[in-house]
Amino acid sequence: MRTDFRERVRAAFTDAGVTGRLHALDIDSGAQLDVEADELVCTASVHKLPLLVALHERAAAGALDLTEQVDCPQGDRTAGPTGLAAMLDAARLSLRDLAYLMMAVSDNAAADLLLDRVGLDAVNRTTARLGLDATYAVHTFGATMASIKEDVGPAGARALADPHVIGRLRALDPARSNRSTPRELTRLLGAIWRDEACTAEHGAAMRRLMGLQVWPHRLASGFPFDDVHVAGKTGSLPTLRAEAGVVEYPDGGRYAVAVFTRTAQTAATLPAADAVIGTAARIAVDALRAG
């Protein structure tokens, strides 16, 4: 099946109306498959994964305590549709509970509170230590949203229906935004699953959080089986949909997959563009399992 996997993945992307990049890695054997996996991509919320690793790396070194309480003032939060970003009242949460919100519902406010504690430089030191030279955090998640608002101009969200406006968004330019490649993201996932990114205790904690993500419509949609476990992190920006995660089979097989897609359609809701992430991942994992 490996011989025709690229053709099948590309056909799936075409049928869904997207262009895509993919990398799949057998975490234990090192076997891998790719479709343009070394092209730079804007990571969007997938970059919360390197932030999670940096947080746990600092905790393992004793530089911070994950039970430390953080104030989340009313009205002074990064914007977003989920979690603290959508809440109206003041709150107080631990660092580890902020990490849960960041990973489970992609809470931008929680992510930026963690970045306030960890720092962008620490995130980039973590990816550099792991040899992920193309993976780089340029700015906070709030700054990403602010750049979109600025680039869109006075017309506001309605302007995002205009392809010309989409074309000028800095957030969609990997030279000017948080970035990585599908291959580097699967390497990061492999390091987490092999307890190479951090200590075994912290590796287990990170894997648990990734397994609590609530979105089933992308990577997990390709593996609708009760005995197959999917843990991942999605990322979304106008015309961009992505997920990086690990698929674990009951026979012990573990496969890291990163899929990034772009569509010419500007609609925010495109079920086929979401579902093809799972379809492409399933094609790749099936090919790896077939040997």
3-state secondary structure 214-240: CCCCCHHHHCCCCCCEEEEEEEEECCE
pLDDT score, position 291: 85
pLDDT score, position 245: 98
pLDDT score, position 221: 98
* Percentage, residues of the chain above pLDDT 70: 99
The domain of 101 spans 2-290
Q: How distant, in Å, are the alpha carbons of 67, 137, 190, 257 from that of 48?
A: 19, 10, 16, 16
Q: And the tokens for 213?
A: 């993500």
**C-alpha 52: how far from its chain's center?**
11
Q: How confident is the model at residue 75 (pLDDT cuts 50, 70, 90)?
A: confident
Quick check: 1 pLDDT over 70?
no
Q: What is the CATH number of the domain that holds 99?
A: 3.40.710.10
Helix, strand, or coil (residue 63): coil
Mean pLDDT (whole number) for 246-255:
98
Structurally, the chain folds into a number of domains equal to 1
pLDDT digits (tens, 9 = 90+) for 20-45: 999 999 999 999 999 999 999 999 99
> Residues with Cβ < 8 Å from 189, sequence gap 6 or more?
25, 27, 49, 244, 245, 246, 256, 258
- Picking from 98-102, 267-271, 272-276, which range would have the lowest pLDDT averaged per residue? 267-271
Mean pLDDT (whole number) for 117-138:
98
Answer whether 0.85 is exceeded by the pTM: yes
* Distance, CA of 35 to CA of 109 (rounded, Å): 33
Q: How confident is the model at residue 198 (pLDDT cuts 50, 70, 90)?
A: very high
- Picking from 94-108, 143-157, 269-283, which range would have the lowest pLDDT averaged per residue? 143-157
Q: And the tokens for 69?
A: 């309480």
Quick check: 159 pLDDT over 90?
no
pLDDT digits (tens, 9 = 90+) for 203-235: 999 999 999 999 999 999 999 999 999 999 999
Dihedral-angle region of residue 106 (phi above 0 means left; psi in -120 to 50 means alpha; beta otherwise): left
Mean pLDDT (whole number) for 182-202:
97
pLDDT score, position 113: 97
pLDDT score, position 3: 63
pLDDT score, position 79: 84
* Percentage, residues of the chain above pLDDT 90: 91
Q: How confident is the prediction for the chain on average, in pLDDT?
A: 96
- Nearest 5°: the CA angle 85, 257, 168 is 55
- Picking from 79-83, 112-116, 118-122, which range would have the lowest pLDDT averaged per residue? 79-83
Q: And the tokens for 110?
A: 């929680």
Quick check: 145 pLDDT over 90?
yes
- Picking from 35-44, 80-89, 114-123, which range would have the lowest pLDDT averaged per residue? 80-89
HSE-up of 74 (CA within 13 Å, CB side)? 3
CB 151 within 8 A of CB 87: no
| Position 26, amino acid | D
Mean pLDDT (whole number) for 237-257:
98
